[in-house]
Structure 1
Amino acid sequence: MDNGNAKHNGTDQVAPPLRLLIVGQKRTGKSSVGNTILCKEAFNTWGGADSAVAHGESEGRQLMVVDACGWGTNENLVHKQEKLEIFNALSLCEPGPHILLLVIPLLHFSHSEKAALQKRMEILTEGVWRHTMVVFTLGDRLRDCSIQDHIQTTGKDLQWLMEKCRYRCHVLNNKTPQDRQQVSGLLDRAEDMLMENGGWHFSLHMYSRLEEEWSRREMEMKEKILERHDGAGKTSRGLAVISYRNQKGGLRLNDTLMKLVYHG
């Protein structure tokens, strides 16, 4: 655990910087988001650049910001190069980003965009959503409309995205980088998320191990229940073992919730 939101620890040493990984589709203003946060021209905004990292201080916080190479719009195919770029971006902010800033323009969020996004985020496992905040660009388009109203009126695809990231979002206007209040609000929300996650950063390796452990324990539990009922000769009522995980991390077996705790 590395708590990036504290400026000093008990020995008065400077805490590690808050690590932000900016991800999203190409031509969404990703690089401009990084520049606005750092208040300097840290990233190339012309497009086509590889993933890049920049350091700096913003609103009193030490930051490490990684601008990941944008992904394409194909909803059915994730190119090998895109996977490599995602993994490369993760490696630039080792041991892992505290927060992923998923950049979405304040336009209509289409079903094909949702499908393309879902394919890319699946590479990072389901656990990535705990560390993800949506950053809406083109903030000037809201005008007199609130972001809540925009989400409600845009459609079910955007509402799906909001549910995945637990409605953690922030509006940013890259046309007014001198407005530091919008940046301060974003960093405040990022630090709140870090506290909600117990100070833990996102680690693809860690979540992959958890997924493997869940699968192993699920299989063991199914085998034990089958052995128990086969041994007792109890086949009345047509026992069927059906298992699935609920949203809270439990394993449900024939409507009996059995809590599993990972100690690895």
Structure 2
Amino acid sequence: MESSRLRGNAATALKILLVGPKRTGKSSTGNTLLGRGQVFDTRGGGASTARRAFTAGRQLTVVDAQGWGSSEEFVPKEEKIEQLRALSLCGTEGPHVVLLIVPLLDFTEQERKAVERRMEVYGSSVWRHTMVVFTFGDCLNRRACSVQEHISSGGPALQWLMEKCRYRYQVLDNKAAVTGKRGLKQEVNRIGRKLENTWWKKDELQLGRVSRKGEADVMRELGQKQVREMLSKIEDILHENGGWHFSLHMYQRLEEEWSRRESELRAWLKADVGNERGKQKREETKVKAEPEQEHKLEEAMQEQSLRKERKDDCEETRINQGKDEEVGVRVELRRLSSEGDEWYSSSVNVEEKEEVV
């Protein structure tokens, strides 16, 4: 299954960046990956180098970055420049995966800080593409423990490293490609090996009859097995990242875009929550105000009714007053009329008397 998946992607060159401290087996890891002997100089101290080869069914481009020092407080300017130059050797798209080389020894707090400072040069997004490669894998046999036991007992510094890499790791024994009959005997005794359609026995007699060509085949098969396991895990990392390369500038742009969208989303959520709260507050106010409004409406209706009654009373009073005035006028007219009649009558009588005289 794994080999078919790798063959399906064989047309695509896989770009790998090797980073780590000096004297940790970083260049040897590159040689094991390429399977072409001493491609990278294992003496250390050299500049970052890129090499290509077809191995384990894949076209690989491996960049061996210059090893960094042990300073934990700051990163020298020369180291930063060399780290960025190693990244540029992977091409414009960048590497698919970053292999952080760490010896299978005690991982101290000082080493943790040194790793943290160097990886900060690439930005926090580099951890999405990073896998730890534990070198000196033969130490597990001497300790008679598994890599899981080594990690669980490694202390907080190693736990931090595992969490940053999402517990993606691979144990590598770079000595498997250069060991002699002793290493071959140990491997055959452990699992047995089928060479040229023949199962070799585990005794010293049969091991002595293995030709030099057979030894080379066994060692090459051991190296290829480790490489296949590592490439399978790299394929998983590629799948997790959607097949993306690691590009410093691309992730900077993506982080800016993500920050912008996050700010917009937060503002939208805040406004939406504010609208909901405002609506809820209006509803609560409405519920509270309804009894008061009903009471005020009743008072207003009562007051309006009283005003109407008062208006009717006033109108009736005005009408009554008018009637009274009219009656009074009539009475006055009658009085005046009667007085006039009396005056007229008296005047007529006087005249009559004067005429008689």
Q: TM-score band, normalised by the shorter chain?
A: 0.7 to 0.9
1:227, 1:194 → 2: CA distance? 39
Deviation of 1:198 (Å)? 1.4
> Hey, what's the Cα distance between the residues in 2 that align with 1:120 and 1:50?
16
Does 1:37 find its partner at 2:33?
Answer: yes
C-alpha displacement of 1:42: 1.0
Q: How does 1:201-216 map to 2 (within 5 A)?
A: 201-216=245-260
Per the alignment, residue 256 of structure 1 pairs with none
| Structure 1 or 2: more helix by fraction | 2
C-alpha distance 221-59 of structure 1, shift in aligned 2 (>3 A): closer
Cα distance in 2 between the residues matched to 1:221 and 1:193:
29
Kindly indicate whether the alpha-carbon contact (under 8 Å) linking 2:11 and 2:58 is maintained by their aligned counterparts in 1: no
Alignment deviations for residues 48-70 of structure 1 (CA, whole Å, 9 cap, x no partner): 10000000011121100000011
Count of aligned pairs? 226
Residue of structure 2 aligned with 1:86, choices 83, 86, 97:
83
Shift of 1:125: 1.4
2-side partners of 1:198 and 1:229: how far apart? 34
Paired position in structure 1 for 2:174:
174
Q: Write 1 or 2 for the structure with the bigger share of strand.
A: 1
Where in structure 2 are the equivalents of 1:69-84 lying within 5 Å? 69-84=66-81
Task: Report the structure number with the largest CA radius of gyration.
Answer: 2
Q: Which residue number corresponds to residue 48 of structure 1?
A: 45
How do residues 87-236 of structure 1 correspond to structure 2 at under 5 angstroms?
87-94=84-91, 95-143=93-141, 144-177=144-177, 178=219, 179-180=222-223, 181-218=225-262
TM-score (norm 1): 0.78
- Supply the distance in 2 between the matched residues of 1:220 and 1:83 (Cα, whole angstroms): 35
Secondary structure at the aligned position of 2:126 is classed as helix
Deviation at 1:227, TM superposition (A): 8.4
**Quick check: 2:13–2:60 contact (8 Å CA) kept in 1?**
yes
- TM-score where L is the length of structure 2: 0.58
* CA distance in structure 2 between the partners assigned to 1:173 and 1:28 by the alignment: 12
Q: Report if aligned partners of 2:16, 2:96 keep a CA contact under 8 Å in 1.
A: yes
- TM-aligned CA deviation for residue 215 of structure 1: 3.8
| 1:220 CA displacement | 5.4
RMSD value over aligned CA atoms? 2.3
Q: Match of 2:34, as an amino acid? A: L
Distance verdict in 2 for CA 1:8–1:226, change over 3 Å: closer
Deviation of 1:20 after TM superposition, in Å, equals 0.7
Query: Which range moves more in the overlay, 116-125 or 46-55?
Result: 116-125
CA distance in 2, matches of 1:141, 1:6: 30
CA distance in 2, matches of 1:183, 1:227: 54
Displacement of 1:211 in angstroms is 2.3
Question: Contact 1:6 / 1:15 at 8 angstroms: preserved in 2?
Answer: no
Spell out, residue by residue over 1:73-121, the C-alpha distance to the aligned partner (whole angstroms, 9 max, x if none).
Answer: 1111111111111111111111111111100001110001111111111
Equivalent residue number for residue 61 of structure 1: 58
CA offset digits 1:110-140 (Å, max 9, x no partner): 0011111111111211211111110000000
Q: CA deviation at 1:47?
A: 0.9
- Residue by residue over 1:150-203, the C-alpha shift from the partner in whole angstroms, topping out at 9 and shown as x without a partner, is 000011110111111111100001111232211211111111211222111111
> Residues 221 and 188 (structure 1 numbering): CA distance in 2 closer, same or farther, change over 3 Å?
closer
When residues 216 and 146 of structure 1 are mapped into structure 2, their CA distance, relative to the original with a 3 A threshold, is same
Q: Highest relative contact order (Cα 8 Å, sep 6+), 1 or 2?
A: 1
Q: How many Å separate the matches in 1 of 2:99 and 2:154?
A: 20
Kept in 2: contact 1:51–1:68 (CA 8 A): yes
After TM superposition, the structure 1 = structure 2 runs for residues 234-249 of structure 1, keeping only pairs within 5 Å, are none
Match of 1:237 in 2: none
Q: Deviations over 1:22-55 (max 9, x none)?
A: 0001111100100111122111111110000000
Structure 1: gaps (5+ residues): 235-264
Report the 3-state secondary structure (helix = DSSP H, G, I; strand = E; otherwise coil) of the residue aligned with 1:53.
Answer: strand
Equivalent residue of 1:48, what SS?
coil
In structure 1, the partner of 2:19 is: 23
